[in-house]
Amino acid sequence: MGDYSKIIEQSAKKMPEMQEVKLLMTGLHLHANGVFSNVYRGILLSPGHQREIAIKKTWPKGELRIFILHIYKTENKERNFEMVFLTGINRKKHKNIVQMLFAFTKTVGKNEARPIICESFVFDFMPDTLASMIKKDLLNIIDIKLYTWQLFNGLLYLSSHYIVHRDIKPVNILVDYQIGLLKIGDFGSAKIVRKDVKSTCYQVTRFYRPPELLLESQYYKWTSDLWSGGCVVGEMLRQNVLFPGKNRKEQLRLIFNCLGSPTKDEIKSMKTPIQLEGKKIVGYGLIRQECSFILLKTGLEEKRFLKTPFLAAYFGSV
């Protein structure tokens, strides 16, 4: 646990206004760690009301990625991709997307010629991830429906801005089980997709990677996130990974054994260099019954998927 007798002062910028502020924090301690970032938990005393916060500290590897947020007409080549991205989408708050409260940077290391810039983003603290909830086996069918609706509600918001997250998976989905709230987090891989503009196919954690990316298509849309979201729903229902392939080929085999290979028309629409013969789609038991099947079918592009009669009946109890 952190030291609550010690108050830490930190200059920062309030987001998205970019207003200079002084943060007063206490009780900071490590909450989680990863390859390119650590997350710290603590209490924000000022500005504003006292609240529990999470601070994501990142150490960019190599050159900082440059991102021009076209729809907001902002550009800053010195800022981290995720920072620029969240600054943009947070101009209009959405309850199912993480809200960056503040941001600050620190230079660390002794090499003045090539300093390491540590960038920190401050968010409201969310006590769990969907991954931890699945592991603890705490989700009943009402919880699953509630979180499913919120997940796709968040993705619908992103799609309205032509945004593809590209790393939807349980560990990147934050939840507060006590109030039933879900937020999509970690936008380090996200981008705005353009028609007929190439994007790298080596995106999305393998278990949640859509077939078009596994088939090395460089032309994909925001609908790629729907596949990942469907895999997450299936994982909530099954309490384990839906398609746990050990490599790309096995991942494809598991998917096609379950759902059948995509048709020639679907392959053509993916603009994939790999040729496959189509098969008849095969059902998938409980997952099909509980609506994930419709989300896992390649080529789903209907933006009003949450309003279809099928899904309306599914979410009726929540």
The 10 Å Cβ neighbour count of residue 303 is: 12
CA 240 – CA 249 distance, rounded (Å): 20
Residues 244/209, Cβ–Cβ less than 8 Å = no
SS3 readout for the chain: CCCCCCEEEEEEEECCCCEEEEEEEEEEEEEEECCCEEEEEEEEEECCCCEEEEEEEECCCCCCCCCEEHHHCEECCCCCHHHHHHHHHCCCCCCCECCEEEEEEEEECCCCCCCEEEEEEEEECCCEEHHHHHHHCCCCHHHHHHHHHHHHHHHHHHHCCCEECCCCCHHHEEEECCCCEEEECCCCCCEECCCCCCCCCCCCCHHHCCHHHHCCCCCCCCCHHHHHHHHHHHHHHHCCCCCCCCCHHHHHHHHHHHHCCCCHHHHHHHCCCCCCCCCCCCCCHHHHHCCHHHHHCCCCCCCCHHHCHHHHHHHHHC
Rounded (5°) CA angle 189-129-117: 45
CA 177 – CA 168 distance, rounded (Å): 19
Catalytic residue among 128, 143, 167, 225: 167
167 in catalytic set:
yes
Residues marked active site are found at 167
